[in-house]
């Protein structure tokens, strides 16, 4: 057992340390070492405590809290609550061609799940031929505070065109070109549908019930299983190093975040980003058609970017067909000659690696389960 030896330090406090047998020749240096150890021992709590605190807080700083990027729950209207059977009915309806005049097209003909929920042609084709606009993705549409590129519909129910006084795909002459009377009669004549509507809504088929079932299905089209959602929930390996650099560009140098605001990646507002105007509409005035305010000329709704990497075309008129073209459009500062272009669209000076990284990030926003949705069996 080592002998305990108490030193009275110069600072005036005693210090007890075990004394080891020491060679007399090294006794002086041993004593100095002992005294130093004693001093350190005294101030130990003042060193260790802050070190422990630092150790505990550093990882928290290094690992940023990204929970503000997590997709929230979709707002469900009180008069159209979700239920499994309602959602299943809505899914049948959007895949059912009997909802169109010649029974030749369903909602999903223009909103193809495999094509990111958008159309396969730059402008959608309906009963009246080529439409003026591209069919945007219906994925994540439950998050929008208004529907259509110009926001002219206030809700998903209204967007369907089933409700009196509202034009939408089922009744639009250029799209599915039918009438609600015709659709309701057709569906009521199909016993399984009639039974399903009675189960879900307590009544036979009505235009309102069709609208509600379709909207309930659309509210489930949320990209919750996208790798980026796993990343922001704490799985640091969910996305590649290139995508992580792309994420930094997205919210930094490339300024995408100013309009594609987290968590939904839209500000639910309208901007003119200088998209080239192509297709049968010589000039599409966008939001101006709704507000008749000159300031809204050429403004379109900011789309969410979830699953947009699966789209065959981009923008209200399908003017672009590759993500790399979209990035190039922003990189060159849009089309500065467009007089109402948003002042936030500026040359970005991205290099080749930046562009690759940004595209890699955009691809992490894709939830593959949405792209795999297929037609259910129809009654
Ligand atoms: C003929 C092709 C076509 C068919 C069929 C069609 N749509 Fe569309 N859809 C479009 C086009 C084009 C737009 C954009 C129109 C606009 O903004 O003016 C659109 C817009 C939408 C939007 C708005 C998305 C957003 O980002 O604002 C939703 C939701 C939608 N459609 C759902 C449906 C549903 C539900 C059906 C079936 C009842 C349907 N569509 C049938 C072409 C089609
Ligand atoms: C000033 C606001 C604004 C900024 C900044 C912005 N966007 Fe957009 N973005 C929009 C609007 C508005 C549209 C639709 C425009 C149209 O249809 O003509 C759009 C469309 C898109 C689309 C097409 C999606 C679809 O469904 O068709 C992609 C992809 C996109 N933006 C990515 C980006 C990226 C990447 C950045 C950063 C480099 C960025 N955006 C910066 C407002 C903005």
Give which of 289, 132, 345, 308 is closest to 226, Cα–Cα.
308
Which atom of ligand 2 is nearest the CA belonging to 256?
37
Please tell me if the CB atom of residue 308 comes closer than 6 angstroms to any atom of ligand 1. Answer: no
Give 140's DSSP letter.
Answer: T
CB-side neighbour CA atoms (13 Å) of 31: 9
pLDDT digits (tens, 9 = 90+) for 179-192: 899 999 999 999 99
Query: Which residue among 138, 286, 301 has the greatest number of ligand 1 atoms within 8 angstroms of its CB, and so is best to mutate?
Result: 138
pLDDT of residue 275: 94
Which atom of ligand 1 is nearest the CA belonging to 174?
1
Query: Which residue among 94, 107, 137 has the greatest number of ligand 1 atoms within 8 angstroms of its CB, and so is best to mutate?
Result: 107
Please report, rounded to a whole number, the percentage of residues in the chain having pLDDT higher than 70: 85
pLDDT of residue 46: 73
Lowest mean pLDDT among 42-56, 243-257, 365-379: 42-56
Give which of 229, 242, 232, 317 is closest to 281, Cα–Cα.
317
Going from the Cα of 141 to the center of ligand 2, the distance in angstroms, rounded, reads: 16
Please tell me if the CB atom of residue 273 comes closer than 6 angstroms to any atom of ligand 2. Answer: yes
Of all helices (H) and strands (E), which one includes residue 3?
Answer: strand 3-8
Read out DSSP for 167-196?
--TTT-TTTT---HHHHHHHHHTSHHHHHH
Q: 170 with 160: CB under 8 angstroms?
A: yes
Domain ranges, ordered by start, for the chain: 1-52, 53-72+224-369, 84-222
pLDDT for 10 beyond 60: no
pLDDT band at 84 (very low <50, low <70, confident <90, very high): very high
Please tell me if the CB atom of residue 221 comes closer than 6 angstroms to any atom of ligand 1. Answer: no
* Alpha-helix residue ranges (DSSP H) falling in the chain: 27-62, 84-94, 107-110, 156-159, 180-188, 191-201, 207-218, 227-232, 241-250, 288-291, 323-331, 352-363, 368-371
Phi-psi domain of 151 (left: phi exceeds 0; alpha: psi -120 through 50; beta: other): left
What the block records as the tokens of 320 is 């672009």
Specify the residue with its C-alpha closest to ligand 2, atom 9: 302
Specify the residue with its C-alpha closest to ligand 1, atom 33: 107
Please tell me if the CB atom of residue 147 comes closer than 6 angstroms to any atom of ligand 1. Answer: yes
Specify the residue with its C-alpha closest to ligand 2, atom 33: 256
Please tell me if the CB atom of residue 121 comes closer than 6 angstroms to any atom of ligand 2. Answer: no
Going from the Cα of 302 to the center of ligand 2, the distance in angstroms, rounded, reads: 6
What distance in Å separates the CA atoms of residue 1 and residue 11, rounded to the nearest whole number?
A: 29
Please tell me if the CB atom of residue 110 comes closer than 6 angstroms to any atom of ligand 1. Answer: yes
pTM: 0.86
Please tell me if the CB atom of residue 135 comes closer than 6 angstroms to any atom of ligand 1. Answer: yes
Which atom of ligand 1 is nearest the CA belonging to 105?
5
Instruction: Pick the more confident residue, 173 or 18.
Output: 173
Average pLDDT, the chain: 89
- Mean pLDDT to the nearest integer, 245-272: 97
Instruction: Pick the more confident residue, 98 or 36.
Output: 98
Going from the Cα of 217 to the center of ligand 1, the distance in angstroms, rounded, reads: 14
Going from the Cα of 118 to the center of ligand 2, the distance in angstroms, rounded, reads: 16
Instruction: Answer yes or no: CATH 3.90.105.20 is held by domain 84-222.
Output: no
pLDDT digits (tens, 9 = 90+) for 209-230: 999 999 999 999 999 999 999 9
Specify the residue with its C-alpha closest to ligand 2, atom 25: 314
Q: What is the architecture, at CATH level 2, of domain 53-72+224-369?
A: Orthogonal Bundle (1.10)
Instruction: Pick the more confident residue, 197 or 35.
Output: 197
pLDDT of residue 177: 84
Please tell me if the CB atom of residue 94 comes closer than 6 angstroms to any atom of ligand 1. Answer: yes
Going from the Cα of 90 to the center of ligand 1, the distance in angstroms, rounded, reads: 15
């Amino acid at each position: 057992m080592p002998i305990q030896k108490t030193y009275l330090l110069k600072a005036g406090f005693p210090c007890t340390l075990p004394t080891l047998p020491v060679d007399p020749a090294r006794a002086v240096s041993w004593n100095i070492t002992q005294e130093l150890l004693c001093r350190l021992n005294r101030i130990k709590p003042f060193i260790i405590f802050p070190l422990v605190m630092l150790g505990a807080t550093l990882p928290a700083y290094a690992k940023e809290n990204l929970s503000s990027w997590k997709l929230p729950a979709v707002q469900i209207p009180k008069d159209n609550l979700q239920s499994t059977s309602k959602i299943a009915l809505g899914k049948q309806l959007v895949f059912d061609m009997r909802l169109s005049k010649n029974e030749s097209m369903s909602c999903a003909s223009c909103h193809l799940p495999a094509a990111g929920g958008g159309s396969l042609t730059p402008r959608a084709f309906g009963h009246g031929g080529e439409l003026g606009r591209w069919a945007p993705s219906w994925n994540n549409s439950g998050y929008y505070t208004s529907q259509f590129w110009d926001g002219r519909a206030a809700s998903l129910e209204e967007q369907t065109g089933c409700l009196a006084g509202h034009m939408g795909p089922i009744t639009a002459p250029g799209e599915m070109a039918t009438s609600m009377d015709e659709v309701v009669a057709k569906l009521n004549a199909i016993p399984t549908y009639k039974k399903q509507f009675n189960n879900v809504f307590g009544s036979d088929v009505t235009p309102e019930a069709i609208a509600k079932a379709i909207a309930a299905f659309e509210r489930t089209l949320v990209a919750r299983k996208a790798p980026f959602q796993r990343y922001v929930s704490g799985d640091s390996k969910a996305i590649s190093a290139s995508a992580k650099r792309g994420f930094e560009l997205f919210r930094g140098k490339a300024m995408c975040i100013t309009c594609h605001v987290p968590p939904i990646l839209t500000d639910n507002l309208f901007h003119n980003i200088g998209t080239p105007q192509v297709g049968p509409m010589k000039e599409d005035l966008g939001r101006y058609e709704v507000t008749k305010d000159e300031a809204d000329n050429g403004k379109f709704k900011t789309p969410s970017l979830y699953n947009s990497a699966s789209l065959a075309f981009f923008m209200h008129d399908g003017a672009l067909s590759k993500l790399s073209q979209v990035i190039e459009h922003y990189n060159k500062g849009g089309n500065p000659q467009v007089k109402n272009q948003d002042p936030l669209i500026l040359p970005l000076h991205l290099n080749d690696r930046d562009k690759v990284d940004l595209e890699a990030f955009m691809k992490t926003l894709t939830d593959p389960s949405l792209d795999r949705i297929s037609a259910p069996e129809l009654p």
